[in-house]
Amino acid sequence: MTHVPAGSSPPSPRPFRSIRIQTCSRPAPPQAPSRSRTSPPSPSHGDRLRRSTATSWRRSRAGCTRRSSGGASTRAPGSGRRTWVPGIVALQRRFEPRAGDVLLASLPKCGTTWLKALAFATAARGVYPPAAAGGDGRHPLLRLNPHECVPFLEGIYLDEEEAKLDAAPTPRLMSTHASYPNLPASITEDDRCKIIYICRQPKDMAISLWHFMNCSKAKTSSLSDDQWESITMSLSDVWESIREGAYLGGPIWEHILGYWNTSKAKPDKVLFLKYEEVLRDPTKNIEKITEFIGQPFSDAEKEAGIVESIIELCSFEKMKASGANSTGSLHMMANEYPHESFFRKGVIGDWVNHVTPEMADSLDKFLSAKFYGSGFTFAE
């Protein structure tokens, strides 16, 4: 990635939602990728991905129920719902990297929304100054949810929005919940693509997912376009899904270690962040991000308070109070997520209010064994 000299204006991404395309100009994607580019995953890899994910999905949904508008609650089947697997397979086959690409990766409910806001505000500061630092109050993060600024790659391919991705200016900010082995080789083997990963203490992660899922709605093939069903999930099922390696797709220890090990072997490829550390020292970690993507703050920017302005713009309190995040919903992969559900507490250690010390200790010991010898530890 090209390093931006201090004092110059860095290239800036645009909110994905604001990108406009000519609908008739893009031909249908080829059925098979060119052999001159990165080869597609072998059938055995695709089959393994589908089988393992289907198994994990069934297990993680085993305790999940759906509630229709009439109030009746029924067991939510694993079939009939769209999942992210087809999007991942399409991503593996068709993604074309570009110099300057930045991918934000995480497990669900690990600070993804906040990282998107911080990364967008930082990378786009040349075009969209933070409101507190001379902006006009129309910053995209004041009128759009962070997920509308930085899209999920698997969602792009599932919803057939590749043309918008192609039309996005460089640098492109994208995100994923996919594990490192499930990323396409066009990302993992191309040094032009950088990855920022964020993880979170799993006890807080589980509590956050539990609340989030119970605010969400889903659509199945049996429902008409305007019918949605509420999702309900018990805390014990979320807790056990972690131990069973079925946390919305697979073992969390494999997901974390895939990025952790790569960050140690290729520190210029993967920047590994911990939610708790970013929360305690946002300035230090925002500066890490800017250095990593080749857009460090100049002395003039620091003196002008740009770093503090970004922290203020992306603060939990400001984002939660924003009209863009207190109303409306995000529709993705046949699910509906109220914008406000992405902003619950934003604190460390809320798990103590929901689980017993015995449950916490049991999970800690279980995961400690899984990470033994890796050098990785969760922040507290």
Residues belonging to the active site:
177
Q: Taking a C-beta distance cutoff of 8 angstroms, is the pair 218, 344 a contact?
A: no
Question: How do beta strands 335-338 and 329-332 pair?
Answer: antiparallel
Q: What is the distance between the alpha carbons of residues 141 and 147, in angstroms, rounded to a whole number?
A: 10
| CA 13 to chain centroid | 17
Q: DSSP 3-state assignment of 154? A: helix
Q: What is the distance between the alpha carbons of residues 277 and 282, in angstroms, rounded to a whole number?
A: 8
For residue 293, give both structure tokens. 């993507």
Question: How do beta strands 102-106 and 329-332 pair?
Answer: unpaired
Question: How do beta strands 229-233 and 335-338 pair?
Answer: unpaired
Q: What is the distance between the alpha carbons of residues 274 and 254, in angstroms, rounded to a whole number?
A: 16
Q: What is the distance between the alpha carbons of residues 317 and 321, in angstroms, rounded to a whole number?
A: 6
Task: Spell out the residues 6+ positions from residue 77 whose beta carbon is closer than 8 angstroms to its own.
Answer: 61, 220
| Amino acid type, 76 | A
Q: What is the distance between the alpha carbons of residues 190 and 87, in angstroms, rounded to a whole number?
A: 20
| CA 280 to chain centroid | 21
**H helices present in the chain, as ranges:** 43-60, 85-94, 112-123, 140-143, 146-149, 153-158, 162-167, 185-188, 202-213, 235-243, 252-265, 275-280, 282-292, 299-303, 306-313, 316-321, 323-326, 357-370
Q: What is the distance between the alpha carbons of residues 224 and 152, in angstroms, rounded to a whole number?
A: 25
Q: Taking a C-beta distance cutoff of 8 angstroms, is the pair 332, 152 a contact?
A: yes
